[in-house]
């Protein structure tokens, strides 16, 4: 899920957050989150839901099936 990895990086960068902050907020290790962003590992369904909720996007947007909202900060 290459688009998921790109979207995770894009969303995190737009919010100017560290991997550590995001990983703690959703209850996973920073290394695991890094692997998601590098497309080395795919999150399971409960983690996908937590990520979508954290970033305020839909699962379709997160997975690249729909465009991400404009990232104005």
Cβ proximity of 8 and 15 under 8 Å:
no
pLDDT tens digit string along 32-73? 999 999 999 999 999 999 999 999 999 999 999 999 987 544
What's this model's pTM, rounded to 2 decimal places?
A: 0.91
E strand or H helix that includes residue 44: none
Residues 6+ apart with CB under 8 A from 16: 73
Predicted confidence (pLDDT) at residue 3 exceeds the cutoff of 60: yes
Domains of the chain plus CATH, in order, are: 2-63 (1.10.260.40)
- Pairwise CA distance, residues 46 & 72, whole Å: 27
């Amino acid at each position: 899920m290459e688009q998921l990895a790109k979207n995770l990086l894009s969303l995190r960068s737009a919010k100017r957050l560290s991997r550590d902050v995001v990983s703690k907020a959703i209850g996973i290790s920073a290394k695991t989150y890094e692997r998601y962003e590098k497309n080395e590992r795919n999150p399971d369904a409960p983690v996908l839901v937590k990520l979508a909720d954290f970033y305020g996007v839909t699962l379709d947007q997160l997975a690249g099936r729909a465009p991400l909202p404009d990232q104005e900060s």
